[in-house]
Structure 1
Amino acid sequence: MSNGALQAVFIDRDGTLGGTGHFIHPRDFELYPGVEQALAQLKEAGLKLFAFTNQHRISRGQATEGEFSRQFAGYGFDQAYICPHSSEEPCLCRKPGTAMLEQAADEHGLDLRRCAVIGDVGSTDMLAAAKVGAVKVLVRTGWGEQSLGEYRHTWAETEPDYVAQDLPKAASWLLRHYQTGRGLE
């Protein structure tokens, strides 16, 4: 891999891959249009794909980690990193914490500065990416518009590297940069 090339992409679930931005059980979850093709394009480019999601409903017994992991495997993800804890439980994995990113880096030999995070929430997805030096791509789907508007103050110290209309546009932008190596050195 050339110097500065992207190694992996971490992608949030709710509001980024599909859904409404709120919890939807894996059996009822629907992807946004074009997401399957975008994921396939990222994989074809040689990038590792990792799900990166807070799912506190697991702690309430409303779904299992296994159900989410199977869902992500079905979409072609290499691995799923899932925080099952509620916001009241002390943990290091809940975004904007970085434990899920650090675990993936350890398990897969990644330099997180050569990885990207795609998500719809500035105060979780973008802040976690910023803490590890990853490329930050905010999508306008899900909570994206609110993250850029009424909730911008919750992550005002961080600027996304790119704001995309949706995941397919985010993937296209990353692939242009991955292929040329621009912006990732």
Structure 2
Amino acid sequence: MFKLSVSFALFGLITATQGPCDECNQVSAALRDRIVQDGSIKMQIGLLSSRVCPSLDDPDFCQEMLNEHWLDIARVLHPFNFSPPKACERTNVCNGLITPIVREWTCENCLAGTATLQKFFKLDQTIAESISFLKGESFCGKREKKTDDCNGLVEKLMPSLLPGLAGILGARAQGFCTDTFSVC
């Protein structure tokens, strides 16, 4: 019984002193779980088509590829990028460079968390790793036609689409925080 009491006491201490890395990981996991749902992926297709594709050299190609492939891409890419603690470590939340300030979920700290994750989408390392991941067995390697077409598609569109997702997250951050953490 004593061991059980000590375990609960330690658990209480750990959760009471939860730091920014843990909180960022919670936001990252919640976002990952939300953005792989069919409704969210369909929204991503619409928003990327209207916000990113028009700025590219071949907007029609971009829209066609989003309609044809984004559902499959999102289902493998989002869990790859948002498996805690990847995004939070890469944006310096988990390495002590950001001072712990959050003790309870508020609109402000949830929005700050989503802003951190927006930065993650724009990092050159994130884009390069995402391209490499998609060109591997998780996406291009699973295609029926294993050709360079898939690799070319990934290399051509991902450098624009990932930052585009950052913009979508920024535009939808308040709704995400309201729906997920009941703040804002």
Larger radius of gyration: 2
Higher helix share: 2
TM over 0.5, yes or no? no
TM-score w.r.t. the length of structure 1 is: 0.27
Higher strand share: 1
